[in-house]
């Protein structure tokens, strides 16, 4: 059997979202021979199904809300397929125009996008599509997050936010479970496009990580836009097929609560996207929450989405430094060096 081709670098950064691009640029500018690998297109979630498409959709939603006054003057409507074409154009343009891509090339970073998931073979080697191998002394993991999939019966009947963007027409009705930034944005966009939206939180309020006054104002704004906001729904028990499409059943304090819609979007937070990396091959054990419990030596990883990995305990300290941690004394010395 032929030996797989292999390239050798000082640093390999995995994931070309905002975090990976900056990490690769920094490594190369510090003089490291650097490669940037990405499973998908350059730009990560930000360009693909996060802020860039959502801003385009939100802009269209604002225009639609404005256009509601149009019958007084004439007529105006939004074509959903045309809107999706516009989203594709904008995301493509953002990827092409990214100044950082030119910076990376100028700094000599070897950029390899859409190469499929990279996975560790051992602590110094990763492999991507076609059996191509890269070796490095240090790896920086910037693989971002994936939507949290709730372990509930019938969860396969639901979709994540990115599938909501990909629909070919706005559904007649939509349940959105989860009321942080993503859930609220999905709800307000589809409500403006004519979908009957129910936004649901198991807790007592929406946007529970924001100031209370902000949450109250946004809640009122969503209701004024025709969205039914259900808080304190109680724990979700299951999803089933229902008369409109999907039925969600919650155990509310007042008894079972059922909500029906054509589509159910679950926006229940994020988990680190590490499943395809085969981190165990690099001798890495994942910790559930680095803020509460430090992960075991030798590798130290955070699970908030952006991760760092390097070989050996000394290198692990370097890796932590890359994430901006370190003792106050270390941070002071670093700040003094920068000055
Ligand atoms: C709807 C929405 C709106 C948002 N709005 C904002 C906003 O207004 N402002 C803001 O700051 N943030 C916003 N965010 C959050 C923002 O998108 C993320 O914080 C950001 O994209 C995280 O960047 P990242 O580089 O860590 O990861 P990502 O952008 O997720 O990139 C991860 C990269 O890793 C790659 N990858 C994963 N696994 C592998 C593997 N095994 N091998 C190779 N490559 C791999 C992926 O292909 C991807 O390119 C929003 C998110 C959403 C969903």
Q: Domain locations in the chain? A: 6-43+99-146+272-338, 149-268
- Does the Cβ of 323 fall within 6 Å of ligand 1? no
Give the number of residues written for the chain.
339
Splitting the chain (339 residues) into consecutive groups of 10 residues, what average pLDDT does each group show?
68 95 96 96 80 82 76 68 83 78 93 95 94 95 92 96 84 96 94 94 92 95 96 95 97 91 95 92 80 40 43 36 38 47
- Does the Cβ of 50 fall within 6 Å of ligand 1? yes
**pLDDT score of 289:** 64
- Does the Cβ of 116 fall within 6 Å of ligand 1? no
- Does the Cβ of 187 fall within 6 Å of ligand 1? no
- Token code pair at residue 325: 């941690």
- Does the Cβ of 40 fall within 6 Å of ligand 1? yes
In the chain the first and final C-alpha atoms are separated, in Å, by: 54
Query: What digits encode the pLDDT tens for the residues 105-153?
Result: 999 999 999 999 999 999 999 999 889 999 999 999 999 998 999 999 9
Q: Ligand 1 centre and the CA of 142: distance in Å?
A: 9
- Does the Cβ of 189 fall within 6 Å of ligand 1? no
Q: Whose CA is nearest to atom 13 of ligand 1?
A: 51
pTM over 0.85: no
Q: Ligand 1 centre and the CA of 259: distance in Å?
A: 31
Q: Whose CA is nearest to atom 33 of ligand 1?
A: 15
Class of domain 6-43+99-146+272-338: alpha beta
Neighbour-count burial for 154-182, b at 16+ CB within 10 Å, e otherwise: beebbbbbeebbebeebbebbbbbbbbeb
Q: Whose CA is nearest to atom 9 of ligand 1?
A: 51
- Does the Cβ of 17 fall within 6 Å of ligand 1? yes
Cis peptide leading into residue 298 (ω within 30°):
yes
- Does the Cβ of 242 fall within 6 Å of ligand 1? no
**pLDDT score of 224:** 94
Q: Ligand 1 centre and the CA of 324: distance in Å?
A: 19
d(CA 163, CA 332): 45
- Does the Cβ of 54 fall within 6 Å of ligand 1? yes
- Does the Cβ of 84 fall within 6 Å of ligand 1? no
Q: Are 6-43+99-146+272-338 and 149-268 equal in CATH topology?
A: yes
CA 43 to ligand 1: nearest atom: 49
Residue 8 φ/ψ, nearest 5 degrees = -115, 135
Q: Whose CA is nearest to atom 6 of ligand 1?
A: 51
Cβ atoms 189, 58 nearer than 8 A: yes
Q: Ligand 1 centre and the CA of 239: distance in Å?
A: 28
Q: Whose CA is nearest to atom 27 of ligand 1?
A: 144
Cβ atoms 279, 120 nearer than 8 A: yes
**pLDDT score of 100:** 85
CA 53 to ligand 1: nearest atom: 1
CA 18 to ligand 1: nearest atom: 25
| Beta strands 132-141 and 6-14, pairing class | parallel
Q: Which CATH number describes the domain made up of 149-268?
A: 3.50.50.60
Q: Whose CA is nearest to atom 5 of ligand 1?
A: 51
- Does the Cβ of 276 fall within 6 Å of ligand 1? yes
Tell me the C-alpha to C-alpha distance, in Å, between residue 207 and each of 15, 97, 149, 217.
29, 33, 20, 11
Residue 183 φ/ψ, nearest 5 degrees = -60, -45
**pLDDT score of 315:** 36
Cβ atoms 35, 108 nearer than 8 A: no
Helix, coil or strand: residue 125: strand
């Amino acid at each position: 059997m032929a030996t797989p081709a292999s390239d050798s670098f000082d640093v390999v950064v995995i994931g070309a979202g905002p975090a990976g691009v900056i990490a690769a640029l920094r490594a190369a500018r510090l003089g490291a021979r650097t490669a940037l690998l990405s499973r998908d297109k350059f730009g990560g979630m930000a360009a693909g199904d996060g802020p860039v498409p959502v801003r385009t959709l939100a802009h269209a939603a604002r225009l639609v809300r404005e256009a509601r006054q149009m019958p007084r003057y004439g007529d105006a409507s939004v074509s959903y397929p045309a809107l999706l074409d516009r989203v594709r154009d904008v995301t493509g343009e953002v990827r092409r125009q990214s100044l950082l891509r030119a910076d990376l090339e100028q700094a000599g970073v070897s950029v390899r996008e859409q190469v499929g998931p990279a996975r560790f073979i051992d602590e110094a080697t990763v492999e991507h599509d076609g059996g191509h191998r890269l070796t490095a002394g240090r790896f920086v993991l910037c693989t971002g997050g994936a939507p949290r999939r709730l372990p509930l019966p019938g969860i396969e009947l639901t979709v994540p936010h990115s599938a909501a963007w990909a629909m070919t027409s706005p559904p007649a009705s939509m349940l959105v479970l989860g009321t942080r930034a993503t859930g609220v944005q999905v709800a307000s966009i589809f409500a403006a496009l004519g979908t009957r939206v129910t936004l649901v939180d198991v807790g007592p309020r929406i946007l529970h990580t924001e100031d209370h006054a902000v949450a109250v104002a946004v809640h009122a704004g969503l209701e004024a836009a025709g969205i039914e906001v259900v808080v304190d729904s109680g724990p979700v028990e299951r999803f089933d097929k229902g008369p409109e499409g999907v039925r969600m059943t919650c155990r509310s304090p007042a008894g079972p609560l059922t909500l029906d819609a054509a589509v159910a979007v679950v926006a229940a937070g994020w988990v680190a996207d590490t499943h395809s990396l085969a981190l165990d091959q690099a001798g890495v054990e994942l910790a559930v929450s680095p803020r509460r419990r430090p992960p075991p030596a030798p590798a130290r990883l955070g699970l908030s989405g952006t991760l760092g990995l390097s070989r050996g305990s000394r290198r692990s300290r370097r890796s932590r430094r890359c994430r901006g941690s370190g003792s106050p004394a270390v941070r002071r010395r670093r700040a003094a060096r920068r000055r």
